[in-house]
Amino acid sequence: MTPDERRQAIVDAALAVARTKGLGGTTVRDVAAAMGTSSGLIHHYFESMDDVLAAAFEQAAGGDLGRAREAIRAESDPVIQLEAFIQSYMPAQSDWTMQLWLDAWAEAARRPVLQVVSRRLNREWQATVRDIIDAGLRNGTFQCDAPDAAAWRLLSMLDGLALQVVAHDALISRDQVVEWAANAAKRELSIA
């Protein structure tokens, strides 16, 4: 294994563990066991466990962002793009990514490395929404006074709703979230 492959294997293993135990509950020994190697190896490639966790979170959350952008780029109509975005923000089988976000938000105040990553990714998500809104404005299909604020509002509502689904299992359902968010987006951007 090349150094890069090994680093990647560590990150993958860390994600596999974090999927069931959460970011904060992922330990060096867990990761080593998941890889079938020794614990010392991890510190040969990463300076600290925090770095491993930050890299793992970045890969998982960054991957979601990339897939969402692709889904958006595949469409040309801003209205459909918005729908695709909302759908991809709440995919059926990726509750565990959202749990990673919950962990990251909570830990951000105490783990600077994680805060940097999570802040940057959140900014990029907002920029992605903003791009859709801008396209719709140029297009004439959207109406909106403050696109930046609208993007934050939309993203925050999705975060808040997704949070309820993941943290408070069964209080509200995933389908409701998608429907409610779509309605809110239509009202927010004056879509017919």
Partner DNA sequence: GGGTGGGTTGGACATGCGTTCAACACGAAC
Partner DNA sequence: GTTCGTGTTGAACGCATGTCCAACCCACCC
Which residues contact DNA by CB under 7 A?
1, 3, 6, 25-30, 37-44, 48-50
Partner in contact with 188, chosen from DNA, a copy of itself, none, beta carbon below 5 to 8 Å by kind: a copy of itself
Which partner, DNA, a copy of itself, none, binds residue 176 by CB below 5 to 8 Å per kind? a copy of itself
Give the closest residue to 124 by CA, choosing from 52, 72, 188, 189: 72
The secondary structure of 6-54, three-state, reads HHHHHHHHHHHHHHHHCCCCCCHHHHHHHHCCCCHHHHHHCCCHHHHHH
Alpha-carbon distance of 13 to 42, in angstroms, equals: 11
| Structure token digits, residue 153 | 């509002």
Binds 92: which of a copy of itself, DNA, none (CB < 5-8 Å by kind): none
Q: Based on CB atoms, which residue is closest to DNA, 39 or 141?
A: 39
User: Residue 119 binds which entry of DNA, a copy of itself, none, with Cβ cut-offs from 5 to 8 Å by kind?
Assistant: a copy of itself
8 Å CB contact between 125 and 65? yes
Using an 8 Å Cβ cutoff, are 18 and 34 in contact? no
Q: Which is nearer to a copy of itself, 140 or 187 (CB)?
A: 187
Q: Which residues form the interface with a copy of itself (CB under 8 A)?
A: 22, 24-25, 99, 102-110, 115, 118-119, 122-123, 149, 152-153, 155-161, 163-164, 166-168, 171-172, 176, 180, 183-184, 187-188
Minimum distance from residue 96 beta carbon to a copy of itself (Å): 10
Q: Which helix (H) or strand (E) holds 138?
A: helix 112-139
